[in-house]
Amino acid sequence: MLNVESSMSLLRDPTGQRAGVLAVIRDITDRLHAENRLRTSEIRYRRLFEAAQDGVLLVDPGTCRITDANPFMTQLLDCSHEQLAGKVLSEIGLLKDEGASQEMIRRLKSEHHVRYDDLPLVSQGGRHQDVELVANLYDENGRSVIQCNIRDITKRKLAEENNNLLMAEVNHRSKNLLSVVQVVARQTARHTDPGTLVKRLCERIGCLAACQDLLVASQWQGVEVSDLVAAQLEHFKDLIGTRVLVNGPPARLNSAAAQGIGMALHELATNASKYGALSNHEGRVRILWNITRSPQTEFSMSWSEEGGPTVIPPSHHGFGRTVIGKIVEAALHGTAKVNYRESGLCWNLTAPAAFTLELNRA
């Protein structure tokens, strides 16, 4: 089937009398198909323009003024289409001033493409956003048009900043942990017989690893004291509730306190199994902790043994004594005391809650 266009004109002879009719019929099928395709294309483009989840502005290169804006752009700026029409980009806060707008136009005319990866944008209601701007200059039926695509990157930028902070924190914590391992390795080598060095070093690093596992499991939101005690006394879990008595209120230690107390508990348990209350079949250990709130909030913890071999105060102190003393004191800004009672060793720790606990979760 063809689409045709017809025209008719009257023919006259030299005397002016009607001589006939001239009929012209043109095949306009191709032209109509082209017009339909163009109309369909325009409808599709308009639908995309209206539904786009990025802001879109059309700008006249000659006047640098906005000729059209899609709905998402009006949402970004908290204003109507009418309020945008006729304005230059600097007037809507997209570029800092009219000079910047002119510079963008100049670049577009020479390069046909301009990109700004990070621009501030303040809506009419005062909402601050970060946007990405991509502008293209193209020809539309012999007329130059600038299309600006504006993407809200506020959430993406915030996520990137959070990732950077997270990586910095991971780096910081890793360095701290490696520093602790370095001290443990150096002091273990200094105070341990070469024949047992590897074994003792592995045990102490294993103690640190157990603390790390708890911290990671809690997403670095602190470690319950009861969980830390259970982790460090894993080898004596069958004795907990009988020969090892554990009691204290719910309390979450921060990461530094968990590492310091975890290492102290490991050293105390190791000493008890070799020389103290857990080296025979009758000895008992009490592990208690508490939080007092007057005059200032403090965390206290004790390890007391009884029923083991008679305690003889050591003639010299090794690294284990440093761990349950100076190291835990430094980690918690507190005080640790060791009493070599004849009936059994007693260790008492007191520290400000501000340096020890996740206070909002204690």
Residue labelled with tokens 């914590």: 173
Please tell me whether residues 234 and 100 are part of one structural domain.
no
Give pLDDT tens digits for 7-28.
888 888 888 788 777 777 887 7
Mark whether 89 and 218 lie in a shared domain: no
Angle of CA points 188, 189, 194, to nearest 5°: 115
Ramachandran bin of 154, using left for φ above 0, alpha for ψ from -120 to 50, beta for the remaining angles: alpha
Select from 279, 265, 267 the least CA-distant residue to 226: 265
The answer, yes or no, to whether the previous bond of 295 is cis (omega within 30 of 0) is: yes
Cα Rg, the chain, nearest whole Å? 40
Q: Are residues 111 and 134 in the same domain?
A: yes
Nearest-angstrom CA–CA distance, 23 and 5: 11
Answer for the pair 66, 84: CB distance below 8 angstroms, yes or no: yes
pLDDT band (50, 70, 90) for residue 234? confident
Q: Does residue 171 belong to any structural domain of this protein?
A: no
The whole domain housing 211 covers: 180-361
Is 268 or 208 the better-scoring residue by pLDDT?
268
Could you tell me if 130 and 111 lie in one domain? yes
What CATH number is attached to the domain comprising 282?
3.30.565.10
Is 286 in a helix, a strand, or coil? strand
Q: How far is Cα 143 from Cα 100, in angstroms, rounded to an integer? A: 23
- Edge-to-edge, what's the strand order for the sheet holding 344-352? 244-247, 284-292, 298-306, 344-352, 335-341
DSSP 345-362: EEEEEEEEGGGTB-GGG-
> What was the pLDDT predicted at 45?
57
Comparing 47-51, 57-61, 123-127, the range with the smallest average pLDDT is 47-51
Predicted confidence (pLDDT) per residue in 61-76, tens digit: 888 888 888 888 888 8
Q: Nearest-CA neighbor of 277 among 247, 245, 300? A: 245
Q: Is there a domain that residue 162 lies in?
A: no
pLDDT tens digits, one per residue of 241-257:
999 999 999 999 998 89
pLDDT greater than 80 at residue 200: no
Do both 220 and 326 map to the same domain? yes
pLDDT band per the 50, 70, 90 thresholds, residue 219: low
Is residue 173 assigned to a domain? no
Residue 178 has pLDDT above 60, yes or no: yes
Cα Dmax for the chain: 148
Q: Is residue 121 part of a domain?
A: yes
Angstrom distances, CA of residue 360 to CA of 200, 254, 354? 36, 11, 10
CATH of the domain at 103: 3.30.450.20
The DSSP annotation for 40-55 comes to HHHHHHHHHHHH-SSE
Whether 227 and 315 share a structural domain: yes
* Residue 150 CB partners (closer than 8 Å, separation 6+): 54, 55, 56, 57, 73, 76, 94, 121, 131, 132, 133
78: which residues sit within 8 A by CB, 6+ positions away? 123, 124, 125, 127
Greatest mean pLDDT range, 45-49, 69-73, 139-143, 296-300: 296-300
Domain identity same for 303 and 357: yes
Q: How far is Cα 35 from Cα 38, in angstroms, rounded to an integer? A: 5
Q: Is residue 191 in a domain?
A: yes
- Name the nearest CA neighbour of 188 among 267, 279, 255, 278: 267
The number of domains in the chain is 3
Quote the strand ranges of the chain, DSSP E.
Answer: 4-12, 18-27, 55-60, 65-69, 113-122, 128-140, 143-152, 223-224, 244-247, 252-253, 284-292, 298-306, 335-341, 344-352
Residue 345 lies in a domain: yes
Residues 5, 105, single domain; the answer is no
Q: Is 26 inside a domain boundary?
A: yes
